[in-house]
């Protein structure tokens, strides 16, 4: 109410708002701004507030007040559809909290896998659990659907978050933070250096050759697992730590191996929560099996009664007549209910005219938005489920319009703000669900996809050169996609994109091989070879891609078929070892006994292996004229390039130790108890019996590295 007189220039304002405003003013400390709940609700997209506190207002009782912390450069989440309470998930939440309590009391590590189909509510339960436990004790990583080869990305997210490394930090600043954290922990002896080097590799700050130049290839995985385990044990010494792995069904085999290693050997209060679809069991039937502290639970669709409860919480009262139709069509999928309600609120369509599938509902909502917002969402979908404003700008978004379009996307519930920062120190965003991202991406024309993937790959490469080496696999993936789409529609720059994709994939595969991730390196080398075969690339590099793809397979399988694949690379008629460019690749592909020969002898060996006639028989070494010698040498061949290129004259002691251990390891995987297998490999009967009678432990296969006396678990 406003009262005043026309004879004076003063007005009197009274009423409840004035009373509450006066109480807020008197309760505010010097330099502090306090607002009420309505002001906070109206400005939540532009202002960040502290936790609420209560003050007494005369005539109004207790009033909720909020302290203004800062103005946001970019909008925060604001939804037109209210958030519903978690429905019919009490038993799953109770199990999570009971497990967390056991982790805290027993100070042991537990693995919990939460299975469920897309949209059933796995992420919703995880968010509820994280909010109650406290986000400061949680580290999360997301697996991307890029296929094998992007192994370390989720671990990088977890470790960088724990170390306080943000996207804006360069590699020097990131290593300084790592050294500070490791230095503050009570490691014994040289353990601090081992952990620091291993975490630098896992966090994407360094490569294996730069950290461990003399470490044999077979010890890399053990050292990395050891460093990760000891680091997390120290980080969780004072309070339990929760590691969340989203979309674990896309995780690389090496990452799943690392998680199982933590579950079995870590002696610290760790709770590892994996969110996955049923594909994880298909890919890894033994996942979690045989582990004493491994649990699994499946989220089923909601019952009709619980679905109706969710619909009533989301649907406006004016649309209550459509409740039964939504319950019937959703089939208990909470995400379908939310998307259906959003579409119903945003349009005047009848429920009968709406798409029947979840993807169709999302696509209808995307097609109904204004073109500027749709274009921004399409650019964001190329970057992945998580993106930043810097990425949008690099993809061609108008920097002057980004904030307003993000605000619209938040209001329409397509995206949500995260607590993370991008490479420029600004906020990151994520699609509300991975299905939303997939549907938006499917609406991008292929010609536009080629351009956007190329732009994003080049931007990531420029940013990654400053941050370290952590994004090589992702850079290679986007370069590969740009090449494939350009080829498919016949763009003029397809050859240039193919050459760049080949080099990026080769660099990513080499990095993966250095970490002894043979699953990832095999896939990346194969993808590089597939592109290189249809492109005018350096023949020596193409041979390298083919050869290392074969050797990675041999490391994994140790089968006669894998040996035949490698022989096919050397025997194939697609290359001529007489040319100088292709001959330069031979030392990188041959075992050390071959690489140590003079160039003429190398040429002779390859000619012999490929069936070609050698003009000078004396150029060929007699020790490799038989199948037994060639295959026996290969079983002892380290695939790390430093072991081949730099070892021009390997010491006999090293060759003997390495060969005996690796020959036994590879031979045992070939099941040498079969005489036929041993005969094909050219191994004598006495040698076969000796190998078959030795167990791995008696053969000292698990012996720790000679430079560190602490045994590995």
pLDDT band, very low/low/confident/very high, at 42 (cuts 50, 70, 90): low
d(CA 549, CA 563): 12
| Reported pTM | 0.66
Q: Which residues contact 427 (CB under 8 A, 6 or more apart)?
A: 72, 73, 74, 388, 389, 417, 418, 420, 421
Mean pLDDT within 594-602: 41
User: Interhelix angle for 446-467 vs 371-383, to 10°?
Assistant: 50
Q: Contact 508/472 with Cβ under 8 angstroms?
A: yes
Residue 11's beta-bridge partner residues? 4
Band of the pLDDT at 615, cuts 50, 70, 90? Answer: very low
- The side-by-side arrangement of strands in the sheet containing 138-142 is 138-142, 241-246, 270-276, 109-115, 294-298
Query: pLDDT tens across 514-531, in order?
Result: 888 888 899 999 999 999
pLDDT at 613: 33
Distance, in Å, from the CA atom of 431 to the CA atom of 333, rounded to the nearest integer, reads 18
Are the C-beta atoms of residues 366 and 441 closer than 8 Å to each other? no
- Collapsing DSSP to helix, strand or coil, 170 comes out as coil
**pLDDT tens column, 219-260:** 889 999 999 999 999 999 989 999 999 999 999 888 999 999
- Mean pLDDT of the chain, nearest integer: 76
The confidence score (pLDDT) of residue 213 equals 86
User: Where does 414-445 have alpha helices with state H?
Assistant: 434-442
Share of the chain above pLDDT 70, in %: 71
In whole angstroms, what is the distance from residue 311 CA to residue 462 CA?
47
Tokens of 330: 């959703």
Say how far apart CA 482 and CA 448 lie, in whole Å.
Answer: 9
Q: Provide the CB-side half-sphere exposure for 447 (13 A, CA).
A: 4
pLDDT classification of 13: cutoffs 50, 70, 90: low
Question: Per the structure block, which two tokens stand in for 456?
Answer: 């994003």
* Residue 656, both tokens: 């003997």
Tally of residues, the chain: 713
Question: Which pLDDT value is given to residue 425?
Answer: 60
Tell me the three state secondary structure of residue 433.
coil
| Backbone angles phi and psi of 387, in degrees to 5 | -150, 165
Helices 171-183 and 191-202: crossing angle, nearest 10°? 140
Alpha-carbon distance of 156 to 159, in angstroms, equals 5
List, in sequence order, every residue forming a beta bridge with 49; answer none if it has no partner: 68
Which residues on adjacent β-strands are paired with residue 55? 63
Mean pLDDT within 11-33: 77
Q: Which of 161, 116, 495, 76 is nearest to 280 (CA)?
A: 116
Given a cut of 80, whether residue 575 has pLDDT beyond it is no
What burial class does residue 486 get, using C-beta atoms within 10 Å of its C-beta: 0-12 exposed, 13-18 middle, 19+ buried? buried
Per-residue model confidence as pLDDT tens digits over 274-286: 999 999 999 899 8
Write the DSSP symbol of residue 84. P
């Amino acid at each position: 109410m406003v009262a005043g007189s026309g004879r004076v220039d003063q007005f009197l304002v009274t009423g409840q708002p004035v009373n509450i405003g006066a109480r807020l003013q008197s309760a505010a400390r010097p330099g502090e701004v306090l607002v009420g709940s309505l002001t906070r609700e109206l400005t939540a997209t532009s202002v960040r507030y502290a936790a609420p506190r209560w003050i007494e207002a005369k005539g109004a009782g207790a009033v909720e007040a909020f302290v203004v912390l800062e103005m946001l450069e970019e909008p925060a989440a604001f939804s037109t559809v209210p958030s519903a309470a978690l429905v019919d998930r009490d038993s799953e939440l109770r199990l999570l909290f009971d497990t967390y309590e056991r982790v805290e009391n027993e100070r042991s590590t537990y693995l919990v896998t939460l299975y469920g189909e897309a949209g059933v509510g796995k992420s919703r339960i995880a968010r509820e659990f994280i909010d109650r436990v406290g986000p400061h004790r949680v580290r999360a990583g997301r697996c991307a659907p890029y296929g094998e080869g992007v192994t370390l990305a989720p671990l990088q997210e977890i470790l960088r978050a724990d170390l306080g490394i943000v996207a804006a930090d360069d590699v020097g600043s990131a290593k300084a933070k790592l050294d500070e954290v490791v230095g503050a922990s009570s490691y014994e002896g040289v353990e601090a250096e081992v952990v620091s080097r291993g975490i630098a590799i896992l966090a994407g700050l360094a490569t294996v050759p730069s950290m461990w130049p003399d470490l044999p290839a077979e010890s890399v995985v053990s050292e990395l697992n050891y460093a990760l385990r000891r680091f997390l044990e120290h980080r969780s010494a004072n309070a339990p730590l929760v590691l969340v792995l989203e979309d674990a069904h896309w995780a690389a085999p090496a990452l799943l191996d690392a998680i199982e290693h933590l579950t079995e050997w870590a002696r610290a209060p760790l709770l590892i929560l994996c969110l996955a679809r049923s594909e994880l069991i298909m890919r890894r039937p033994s996942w979690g099996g045989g582990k004493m502290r491994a649990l699994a639970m499946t989220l089923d669709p909601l019952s009709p009664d619980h679905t109706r409860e969710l619909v009533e919480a989301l649907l406006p009262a004016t649309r209550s007549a459509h409740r039964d139709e939504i319950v019937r069509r959703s089939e208990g999928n909470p995400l379908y209910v939310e998307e259906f309600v959003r579409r119903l609120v945003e349009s005047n369509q009848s429920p009968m005219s709406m798409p029947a599938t979840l993807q169709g509902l999302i696509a209808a909502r995307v097609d109904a938005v204004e073109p500027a917002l749709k274009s921004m969402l399409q650019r964001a979908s190329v970057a992945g489920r998580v993106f930043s404003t810097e990425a949008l700008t690099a993809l061609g978004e108008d920097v002057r319009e980004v904030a307003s379009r993000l605000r619209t996307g938040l209001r329409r519930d397509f995206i949500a703000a995260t607590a993370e920062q991008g490479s420029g120190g600004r906020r990151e965003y994520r699609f509300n669900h991975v299905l939303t991202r997939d549907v938006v991406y499917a609406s991008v024309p292929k010609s536009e996809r080629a351009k956007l993937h190329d732009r994003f790959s080049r931007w990531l490469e420029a940013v990654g050169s400053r941050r370290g080496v952590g994004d090589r696999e992702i850079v290679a993936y986007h370069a590969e996609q740009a090449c494939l789409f350009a080829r498919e529609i016949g763009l003029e720059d397809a050859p240039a994109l193919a050459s760049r994709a080949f080099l990026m994939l080769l660099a990513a595969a080499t990095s993966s091989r250095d970490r002894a991730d043979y699953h990832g390196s095999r896939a990346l080398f194969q993808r590089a070879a597939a592109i290189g075969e249809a492109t005018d690339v350096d023949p020596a590099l193409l041979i390298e891609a083919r050869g290392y793809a074969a050797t990675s397979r041999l490391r994994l399988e140790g089968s006669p078929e894998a040996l035949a694949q490698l022989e096919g690379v050397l025997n194939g008629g697609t290359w001529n070892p007489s040319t100088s460019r292709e001959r330069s690749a031979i030392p990188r592909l041959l075992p050390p006994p071959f690489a140590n020969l003079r160039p003429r002898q190398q040429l002779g060996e390859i000619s012999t292996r490929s069936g070609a006639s050698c003009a000078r028989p004396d150029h060929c070494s007699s020790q490799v004229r038989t199948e037994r010698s060639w295959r026996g040498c290969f079983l002892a061949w380290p695939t790390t390039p430093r072991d081949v290129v730099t070892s021009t004259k390997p010491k006999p002691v090293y060759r003997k130790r390495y060969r005996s251990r690796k020959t036994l390891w590879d031979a045992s995987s070939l099941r040498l108890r079969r005489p036929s297998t041993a005969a094909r490999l050219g191994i004598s009967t006495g040698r076969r019996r000796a190998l078959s009678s030795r167990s791995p432990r008696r053969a000292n296969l698990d012996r720790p590295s000679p430079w560190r006396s602490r045994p590995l678990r």
